[in-house]
Structure 1
């Protein structure tokens, strides 16, 4: 929707709204106050905050959320204390309406201001990540599927390399960097990594509507992987030999004029563009030079991206995967050999990517090599992980966090990606150390953000939207690693900022959402020359007023529709002439694709959403499974708390209750010991056993005794089937018919002990491994899938000393005790999984220490209950 149409739409909407809210005394329209919202919408169980902003110091004490369909007040809330002046506003208030969870269309009224309409719904972010892939495809160099034509096919000629200058090398492909057409490994590798990570972490978010070349069609591979491979293919060309590494294609001579991408002929060698060899020394062919000191910043990005590509992209072309494996290792070696930063090369202008950090890239590289080695051989090299940790300790906090300014791309890629990738491979003190680095960085931003209504702690430098996106990801990763929702509202505020909860009330993503105020006149040749939509492109974002005033060559080409919202603090212009705030970037868009995928595959972080930073809460109902959407359960009451296509992994976080759950298949040697301990301690537990366990004569007495003692019994599949592939979780290994027959046989075996389906509605999957299809099939049979609560390694009590993942009982108990120390409510609603028996090779039986564990939980104030009591509707 263009801006002129949008203005008429808003006028019409206000007329409709005035009818809807007729029950209120109508106030005259005052253009001095506004309510800013996330125009993309809010999820029912998520944090929901709007911002009231006024040009006068007005007192606002309450607000109303109104159902557009009925005109009824859905929620009345108190604004809380005034948040003070910010930017162009004399006064601001935060309007938190997280208590409203009912899906629908709403508006907010506070004082004289009325918000635009917005949606609360489970699917408000559905398809958003795929939408932003449109921009990535449009940025392709070589064959461009949007234009259905090719460009830059003659690239390129080498400079600074060991070969003679102007030697031809094949460097065609990849993505244009922003709305200009030069290309950098720095941003392309970061973008490729985020696309690969988005698929790895959220595979079911993405569709398959395009071929590998970007044209419409299906090729049985997610579109995000097609796009990631496009990036990988070009990166392999830029690291063609183990001792050759190129860093850049083209330079700022590209800025000679706006044009639709084609075969450029102004670099002095026909249609070829210069390809800069990574020397580790300052470079610049014209007036200006960079301050390069090494190659590690680029080498690390190569290595981590190739390693993640090796793990993530499954191809029949074995040679391709081997090449990724080899280039990951060779790139890492080059980074070790030449530490330092490999900045991009300027030319006629002084602007370049002034990256001044590199140990973060090498940390990510080493951590990624660890994963790659694990995927290849089943174990990682301890020395590689040790090196990663050493790099981590050099840059503990990304330097811009909490700062007021930084040079252009000085601390790139804006957050330390390596801390997350490494922390997932560590345990105990070392893992906590990395998590603490994230927390310290978030806290630095929070100290600034807590002083204003928008919770804005991000410096308004070039590409502030990229920093905002990355910081939201860091908050998300911290929450994933810890379960701590302390910073959840800060995390959401950064996401909301990108989609309209900002002083200008506009989304920062072209065309998203289609009904909202989004950039219409970006600094892009596609829109400026041809009026082509650049769907999904994230624009640079607001900059400090003093930065804007001192930039070269900025002239607004049309009246500023946001003039009322500009200030000396910060400006944003939806104008083609403002390349500092309104130019879309390829790498920022790729990062946003990861964030949007995380939001779509929401893990329902807290039943107490809306907690302000500083008030720590424990991670509640975390739903595991590859597709984290929304949904229902086995009873009408439980439909309020159990999302569709999810397993329940936690009970009520407001109750100090915990369920001990035992699973069993071929081993049951602990049955009698467990029964005796539970009886002695006077508690009830839950047992999920396979059909063959129920049928095994040797286990009959233990089952009978446990049944007599009043414990819960459930199904664990008849033959302990592996439902889906370990690496590609969305790939089923059983048919619907096989699943149904196996589960029926499991319940038939339970029937022999008088256990009916009605008294055993909960089903725990074999191997604790499943996907959304299994959840759905279970539900259709009338059963609700559950799983253990993540956070401890209690489930490792089956491991034997010959296994690489072996964990002793001491280590397991320590993980449980450490988790419990995080908070007095750490185990509220927790499902703690153990095994009723283990292989004979494991002589260190955890069930022999069950009494010790129970007494610890009791001493911490927890009531130990059956699973059906823990998950009872509330």
Structure 2
């Protein structure tokens, strides 16, 4: 009897799904920004299908009434992209009324999405959860401490520090799902948090104490987090002739575990602390390609300088210390002009940064040395990855020239126009690639492609702020839309955002894998070229690939713990996203 009831129910469902509504094509999809769209912003979805189906129009449907409220033309057929035979951009920017909607094009329907002014509310705050969870020293999520005995010095002879000398560098953030700590990524993350508060202070709330636990302390939580980063950077630059580049190395990767104490480095629970000497350092069988002290030291200097400005009103003594350290860090950068790379012992993977004049430009600008800053700006007008098909891992970090924005704000006339045009030319290089496909995708699928996507969207936003020129606004929005589901896989790239959306659930993270702890707000690395994925060491999917229909010879993305190349969250990428989301909410508040 029970089986008969079930069979009857299935028949009823089949009748209503085929007879009373349009049949849904299982081989066609409509990708949307799951966060939703602001009424005044560009609003574009992408229709993609396995078959070469010709379409002429699409419908925007009010979910509450099931009535068509807008009909648009599909326009140009963009042809194949990745796993799809045909793709279209469905532009409904003309429709500006708030509500909840879905899009229908042919026999495909999108998930429901919102149009209203509040779609970005609290998104930046949500991502701050991940930053707090990455804290080392006292970790407010675990309500426990970790790595409290760091560390012992390596390569410190230039400052008279013998190898194995103890130095207190406890604090800061773990870099990703491993527990290494890098000054270059941490300083950049700190700068982004500070800049987000400076530019959009109304976005942020006070719901946490300085230690990250619940409770107000009279200071927005984003400044608590930024100060956590600053305090650690102060430890990593304790004297004018002493600066450290990283804590730990890839020996950390021996196993996934919840952070506590690590004893794999041969010095009890201490980890190695690598001194910045401007020279090549060990990389297992190889050496890294460090050539100087500038790239990391200038990131220190810029974070300290911006911190000094922001904290001056509340704590003049602290701000004065930051200002002093900003100046000594800038001098450290001049010791040996050139790039500082990270160290790896067992594997071939490092942060292979190769540019440094962009860091000098930003630090010089914040120090008020505008002529020097312009000299550095002319040496790297466009960040080198813009418009290219590939790059090495973190080769052109931090993926955006932060200095151009700060410098342009302080210049006038032709000098200002020159710097602004550097941004414009870089954006145009990406646009030339993006306009050939329906996703407006011009960012290469290299490791941490989501970080590049975030940084590029910020560059477009800053160009628009500096000029009021909106010609790249749709491209800017397309990169943000990509991060939240308007991509071939139809998934958000941020853990838990939006709630009830298609977001990562099985990232390469010990927190989720071992304890099922949510890593709310963490931005994962993002899709990579299939050739990169196939040649990486130690990747093995643990479960059937739910995104298998959307993988291609172009790029892959896996929501699987075993894929550290596409599904590992990063602290610095998340900090950049916090700035971008604050900017989008800030626009609404203005």
Fold shared, TM-score > 0.5 on shorter chain: yes
In structure 1, C-alpha distance between the alignment counterparts of 2:310 and 2:410, rounded to whole Å: 17
Q: Distance in 1 between matches of 2:71 and 2:162?
A: 73
What TM-score, normalized to structure 1? 0.65
Structure 1 residue 285: Cα displacement: 6.3
Q: 1:106 aligns with which of 85, 101, 109?
A: 101
- Residue 220 of structure 1 deviates from its aligned partner by 1.1
Q: Secondary structure at the match of 2:259?
A: coil
In structure 2, the residue matched to 1:53 is: 48
Aligned mates of 1:32, 1:386 — CA distance in 2: 58
What SS does structure 1 have at the residue aligned with 2:87? Answer: strand
User: Partner residue of 1:474?
Assistant: 459
Cα separation, 2, equivalents of 1:71 and 1:79: 21
Q: Are 1:160 and 2:145 matched, yes or no?
A: no
1:309 maps to which of 307, 313, 316 = 307
Aligned to 1:563: 548
Residue 229 (structure 2) pairs with residue 231 (structure 1): yes
**Cα deviation 1:429-454 (Å, max 9, x = unaligned):** 11000011000000000000000000
Residue aligning to 1:216:
214
1:169 is aligned, of 146, 162, 167, to: 167
The counterpart of 2:278, out of the listed 274, 277, 280, is 280
Deviation per residue, 1:280-332 (Å, 9 max, x gap): 10112643321000010011101100000001124654332111011100111
2-structure distance, mates of 1:65, 1:540:
32
Alpha-carbon distance, 1:25 to partner: 7.3
Measured in 1, the distance between the counterparts of 2:285 and 2:360 equals 31
Are the aligned partners of 2:311 and 2:318 in contact in 1 as well (CA < 8 Å)? Answer: no
Report if the CA contact (8 A) 1:289-1:347 is conserved: no
Quote the Cα distance in structure 1 between the aligned partners of 2:68 and 2:24: 21
Q: Identify which of 334, 337, 342 aligns with 1:336.
A: 334
- Residue 178 of structure 1: which of 173, 176, 179 is its match? 176
Give the aligned partner of residue 502 of structure 2.
517
Q: Partners of 2:191 and 2:267 in 1: how far apart?
A: 33
Match of 2:7 in 1: none
Residue of structure 2 equivalent to 1:34: 29
- 1:118-129 matches, cutoff 5 A: 118-129=113-124
Do the aligned residues in 2 keep the contact of 1:143 with 1:149 (CA within 8 Å)?
Answer: yes
Contact 2:24 2:109 in 1 (8 A): no
Q: Which has the higher contact order (CA 8 A, sep 6+)?
A: 2
Residues 1:240 and 2:238 are matched in the alignment:
yes
Task: State yes or no: 1:389 paired with 2:387.
Answer: no
Give 1:253's aligned residue: 251
Alignment of 1:646-665 (within 5 A): 646=590
1:768-847 superposed matches below 5 A? none
1:89 counterpart (84, 88, 106): 84
- Please state how far the C-alpha of 1:28 moved relative to its aligned partner: 2.4
What does the per-residue CA deviation read over 1:751-782, in whole Å, with 9 as the maximum and x for residues that have no partner?
A: xxxxxxxxxxxxxxxxxxxxxxxxxxxxxxxx
Q: Distance in 1 between matches of 2:302 and 2:208?
A: 26
Q: What does residue 535 of structure 2 align with?
A: 550
1:416-475, Cα deviation, whole Å (9 max, x unpaired)? 000000000000011000011000000000000000000000000000000000000000
Query: How far apart are residue 26 of structure 1 and its match?
Result: 3.1
- Secondary structure of the corresponding residue to residue 447 of structure 1: helix
- Please name the residue that 1:483 is paired with: 468
Could you report, residue by residue, the CA deviation over 1:446-505 in whole angstroms, capped at 9, with x for unpaired residues? 000000000000000000000000000000000000000000000000000000000000
Aligned positions of 1:743-762 closer than 5 A: none
2:64 and 2:349 map into 1 onto residues whose CA distance is 52
d(CA) in 1 for partners of 2:394 and 2:304?
23
Is the Cα–Cα contact under 8 Å of residues 244 and 275 in structure 2 kept in the other structure? Answer: yes
Q: 3-state DSSP class of the match of 1:393?
A: helix
Separation in structure 2 between the aligned mates of residue 29 and residue 153 of structure 1, nearest angstrom = 56
Does structure 1 conserve the Cα–Cα contact (< 8 Å) formed by 2:312 and 2:318? no
Shift of 1:31: 1.4
User: Match for residue 203 of structure 2?
Assistant: 205
In structure 2, the gaps of 5 or more residues are 1-9
Identify which of 579, 582, 585 aligns with 1:594: 579
Preserved contact between residue 541 and residue 561 of structure 2 (Cα < 8 Å): yes
Q: Secondary structure at the match of 2:367?
A: helix
Partner SS state of residue 407, structure 2: helix
Q: TM-score under structure 2 normalisation?
A: 0.96
Match of 1:508 among 481, 488, 493: 493
Match of residue 64 from structure 1 = 59
Partner of 1:813: none
Alignment partner of 1:601: what SS? helix
Aligned to 2:565: 580
Find the counterpart in structure 1 of residue 3 from structure 2.
Answer: none
453-462 or 67-76: which moved more?
67-76
Conservation of the 8 A alpha-carbon contact between 1:508 and 1:538:
yes
Moved more, 276-285 or 195-204: 276-285
Contact 1:288 1:348 in 2 (8 A): no
Query: Could you say what secondary structure the match of 2:379 adopts?
Result: coil
Residue of structure 2 in register with 1:366 after alignment: 364
Aligned pair partner of 2:38 in 32, 40, 43: 43
Work out which of the residue numbers 325, 347, 350 in structure 2 matches 1:349: 347
| Cα distance between partner residues in 2 of 1:125 and 1:135 | 17
Matches within 5 A, 1:664-675: none
Alpha-carbon distance in 2 for matches of 1:366, 1:430: 16
- Are 2:283 and 2:348, in contact at CA under 8 Å, matched by a contact in 1? no
The equivalent position to 2:438 in structure 1, one of 432, 450, 453, is 453
C-alpha separation in 1, matches of 2:283 and 2:45: 50
